[in-house]
């Protein structure tokens, strides 16, 4: 199956700093990637849809200036949490959609962000 | 937009018994319904999926049924084992578009 790599797997940062999370599709080209956030014991909530070469589409209530998404190539999307605050602490997971519109989603391993 | 409701939120069954998790969706245009299993701190793993042109799909101990008219689909796990304990999520989408997830079901298999 397709492999999606996500780094880092966990990160601890001070309040006010920025954190970048990378999501790579290793053996396929992903035209579309999705970024989810998951709070403890809750479901996955879609934050934004990232399309290669264009601006990301954010879900309602998600601040685009706080969660910067870049999808510069067919194998890499990045999420930068800017000026992180403790309430941003969460499990962030990326997922990738195959190049030919295959609706199967392949998830990264997730990033546990803790903001002190 | 699409809304997916999942029940129950928690489910506890004896090892060897069957477990059933149900989901309903709101958008009749949705045509892809995957189920994911997520263990604590891990990524969701796709365990089975079904498309709207199929009413039932089975893979060993796991089966999914879909009722398009009623807009609901269910996950069935037979002969449950301790390693089936996890959180299960249903989801729905229109082709190649974003998935909307249900709230999740925490399944516990009691030995």
pLDDT score at A24: 94
pLDDT score at A105: 82
The answer to whether the Cβ–Cβ distance between A43 and B101 falls below 8 Å is yes
pLDDT score at A101: 54
Average pLDDT, rounded, for chain B:
94
Q: Give the mean pLDDT of B8-20.
A: 97
Any A CB within 8 A of B52 CB: no
pLDDT score at A98: 65
By three-state DSSP, how is residue B60 classified? coil
Of A76, A21, A19, A27, nearest to A53 (Cα)?
A: A76
Closest-CA residue of B relative to A50 is: B98
The answer to whether the Cβ–Cβ distance between B43 and A49 falls below 8 Å is no
In the predicted model, residues of chain A with pLDDT beneath 50 are none
The answer to whether the Cβ–Cβ distance between A104 and B96 falls below 8 Å is no
pLDDT-derived band at B89, boundaries 50, 70, 90 = very high
């Amino acid at each position: 199956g397709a492999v999606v790599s996500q780094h880092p797997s966990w990160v601890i940062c001070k309040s006010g700093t920025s954190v970048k999370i990378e999501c790579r599709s290793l053996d396929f080209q992903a035209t579309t990637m999705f970024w989810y956030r998951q709070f403890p014991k809750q479901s996955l909530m879609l934050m934004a849809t990232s399309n290669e070469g264009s601006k990301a589409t954010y879900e309602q209530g998600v601040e685009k200036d706080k969660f910067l998404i870049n999808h510069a190539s067919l194998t890499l999307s990045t999420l930068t949490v800017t000026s992180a605050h403790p309430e941003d602490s969460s499990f962030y997971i990326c997922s990738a959609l195959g190049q030919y519109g295959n609706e199967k989603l392949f998830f990264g391993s997730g990033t546990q962000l803790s903001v002190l | 937009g699409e809304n997916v409701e999942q029940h129950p939120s928690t489910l506890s069954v004896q090892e060897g018994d069957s477990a059933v998790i149900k989901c309903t969706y709101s958008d009749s245009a949705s045509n892809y319904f995957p189920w994911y299993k997520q263990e604590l701190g891990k990524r969701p793993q796709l365990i089975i999926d079904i498309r709207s042109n199929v009413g039932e799909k089975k893979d060993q101990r796991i089966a999914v049924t879909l009722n398009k008219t009623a807009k609901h689909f269910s996950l069935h796990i037979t002969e449950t084992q301790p390693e089936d304990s996890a959180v299960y999520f249903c989801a729905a989408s229109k082709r190649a578009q974003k998935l909307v997830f249900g709230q999740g079901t925490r399944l516990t298999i009691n030995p």
